[in-house]
Amino acid sequence: MVGKNQLHGVWRQGKEFVLVKDLMIVVLTGATSGLGRIVARRLAVDGVHLVLPVRDERRGDDLRQELHRLATRSAVDVFVADLSLMADVSRLGTDIAAAVDRVDVLINNAGLHAFAPRGTVEGLPEMMAVNYLAPWLLTEKVMPALSRASGGRVVNVASEASRRHGTLGLPSDLTDTRPFTGRQSSALYGKTKLLDIMFTMELARRTAAAGMTANCLDPGFNVTGLGRELSFAAPLERVLKALRIGDPARGAHLIHRVATSSEFDGVTGAYIGVRHAEPLVPAWPAGDEALQERLWDDTAALLEPWR
């Protein structure tokens, strides 16, 4: 397990602390559950070197051992970090960039739909911190390693929930800790995903000259991990699975495809839908370049203490 400023090593061929070269290196957040876990399994079977930030050390160890049993030719590093805390995200990104010679793909997959307002100890709204601020900061901190790869990719998991984002207000939305109800939470969740799309498009412009790509995607409706904060989530998930509604394999397949397929070589600044993996036109104002740049600047200013 990788803790504070310490590389644990990789788990491969039944041995620990074995450095593995020449494998594709993929950083994947949110891998201990939901879509992320399915994607992690697929990448392990591909034989990549997985770098997995996790919040829970025990679950991270369980996942690493599962992936080792599934595909011994893969490599797995597990780093412990709380993605709701910018200090942790900053340290995590610095540690990753220092621990590997490059990062070929960064997949910002971790996400949270909070049905009640919660602020972090750093004074930020938790859902905004996890869904948008953490991917922005982690991408910046990992950028030195991404730049060392040939055609490094950033893949951000967004959502069509972004079409129901309410009213966008910058920079106040980034730090808004006002109370909200479960019903109001949907628009706030959608807003975080709208910001992910805007961030991706601005990142694509800023990194194109370096040969990097940045794309985001909508994984569709998935029952895996559905409404973890709702008391009726588990029985609802069982019903939906029985009706074959919300198969998470579709969303996981798209994440894997955008992250690794040669069909996306050189493709950048796209918002890709789960149906047929075709580009989508995002909800207004996601495509507004002036607002994308303003969002970038506002986010950079907010996160300056941790950059």
| Enzyme catalytic residues | 189
Q: Specify the 3-state DSSP secondary structure of 74.
A: coil
Q: Specify the 3-state DSSP secondary structure of 202.
A: helix
Which residues are registered as beta bridge partners of 215? 155
CB 238 within 8 Å of CB 231: no
Number of Cβ within a 10 Å radius of residue 19: 12
Please state, in angstroms and rounded to a whole number, the distance separating the CA atoms of residues 292 and 298.
10
Cα–Cα nearest to 5, from 66, 67, 96: 96
Contacts for 257 with CB less than 8 Å, ≥ 6 apart? 263, 264, 277
Contacts for 304 with CB less than 8 Å, ≥ 6 apart? none
CB 272 within 8 Å of CB 217: yes
Residue with tokens 């950033």: 154
The structure tokens listed for 102 are: 């490059």
Torsion of CA 86, 90, 91, 97, to 10 degrees: 150
Instruction: Kindly report the three-state secondary structure assignment for every residue of 25-39.
Output: EEEECCCCCHHHHHH
Please state, in angstroms and rounded to a whole number, the distance separating the CA atoms of residues 301 and 295.
10
CB 80 within 8 Å of CB 102: no
Sheet holding 49-54, edge to edge: 75-80, 49-54, 25-28, 105-108, 153-157, 213-217, 271-272
